[in-house]
Amino acid sequence: MEKVVIIGSGPAGWTAALYTARAQLAPLVLTGKQPGGLLTTTSIVENFPGFPEGVDGYELMTRMQKQAERFGAKTSFGVVEAVDFSKQPFALTVDGEKVEAETVIIATGASHKHLGVPGEDLLETKGVTYCATCDGALPVFRNQPLVVVGGGDSACEEALYLTRFGAVVYLVHRRDALRASKIMQDRVHAHTKIKPIWDSAVTEILDVKQDKVTGVKLKNLKTGAESFLECAGVFIAIGHEPNTELFKGRIETDANGFIVPKEGMMTNVPGVFVAGDCADHLYRQAITAAGAGCAAAIDAERFLSARNE
């Protein structure tokens, strides 16, 4: 039986692993389908302390993993299929195998939101993508008009990255001003390749018949006017939704599916803790996720200490 099982391997998961490993609890980290989490799809992370020149997202996650493993954290590339938090020890089904744990730290993060418009799903990987740093350099996008949908930091980062490859980058946003941080807004507005399209929404992605992206249909949300915009790629950056479906009915969540911490980082189930973007709908930063991972680890350690006294 494991003393600590950590579900997820982003900044929250690996920080929790580091702290529990240094407490000699030998945590087991279940990485899930995307080891390292969404940060591995980011090229340069400029706002994580300690890296004045920035750091590649994949490299940052690899360093965190090595640091945690140095102190005794165990890594399994398994996927959790079911959980039973109704009694101690907790039971998890991982790739068909049963794993028992005294405490569990949920750090499953969040996934990209979809637009939910015609053509989006059918043209995914055929011009529709959710990660510019993963796909932006593909030949199909080079010297072509590209569309980024969104208005936050992620959308701005995607747009700026795509200027290296696209002929022009249209930034489609539902409002008349960006929601991004001031520094990102300034960079976007200063770049001659980025053309904002305000007060507009993508209503369809074309062309399924050609089995590739040829453009998008737009609707102006103020005037109702519809238009067509030619492009070779659509990069969707409209936010994330928490990866908490597995815990529905077992762990308390809010209306949007984010897990709600009760005391410190403990959930409504004593011995089950939460950290990172699966519980954070406000900040959603690598550093805040890491901080939450630290807090969850300390809470788990204290919980185990109190049980054994």
Together in a domain, 106 and 244: yes
| Cα angle 177, 181, 185; round to 5 | 55
Residue-wise pLDDT tens digits, 83-118: 999 999 999 999 999 999 999 999 999 988 999 999
Q: Note whether 107 and 256 are same-domain residues.
A: yes
Q: What is the mean pLDDT of residues 209-236?
A: 97
The helix/strand/coil state of 201 is: strand
Residues 168, 105 share a domain: no
Same domain, 122 and 206: yes
Return the number of other C-beta atoms located less than 10 Å from residue 270's C-beta.
14
pTM: 0.79
- The residue behind tokens 């195998």 is 97
Catalytic residue (choose from 56, 84, 95, 135) = 135
Task: Give the CA distances from residue 14 to residues 20, 178, 282, in Å, rounded to whole numbers and listed in that order.
Answer: 10, 32, 21
Among 214, 236, 258, where does a domain finish?
A: 236
| Bigger pLDDT: 63 vs 239 | 63
In the predicted model, is pLDDT for residue 23 greater than 70?
A: yes
End-to-end Cα distance, the chain = 19
Q: Which of 56, 134, 199, 207 is catalytic?
A: 134
Provide the number of structural domains found in the chain: 2
CATH code for the domain in which residue 21 is found: 3.50.50.60
Nearest C-alpha neighbor of 38 from the set 12, 2, 75, 3: 12
Same domain? For 148 and 165 the reply is yes
Cβ proximity of 174 and 221 under 8 Å? yes
Q: How distant, in Å, are the alpha carbons of 129, 151, 170, 219 from that of 145?
A: 15, 18, 8, 19
Do 148 and 219 lie in one domain? The reply is yes
Same domain (yes/no): 164, 228: yes
The average confidence (pLDDT) of the chain is 94
| 126 lies in the same domain as 186 | yes
Instruction: Please indicate, yes or no, whether residues 146 and 255 belong to a single structural domain of this protein.
Output: no
Looking at 188, 207, 236, which one is the last position of a domain? 236
| Res 38: pLDDT | 83
Contact 226, 219 (CB under 8 A): yes
Are 143 and 205 in the same domain?
A: yes
Per the annotation, the verdict on 231 as an active-site residue is no
Mean pLDDT of 162-183: 96
Which residue's structure tokens are 């609890």?
Answer: 25
Which of 131, 156, 231, 278 is catalytic? The answer is 131
> What residues make up the domain containing 161?
114-236
Q: What is the pLDDT of residue 308?
A: 77
% of the chain residues with pLDDT over 70: 99
**Are residues 198 and 230 located together in one domain of the fold?**
yes
Greatest mean pLDDT range, 30-34, 54-58, 167-171:
167-171
Q: Residue 309: is its pLDDT beyond 80?
A: no
Are 126 and 179 contained in the same domain? Answer: yes
Is 278 one of the catalytic residues?
Answer: no
CA distance 138 to 42: 16
Q: Which of 205, 236, 267 is the last residue of a domain?
A: 236
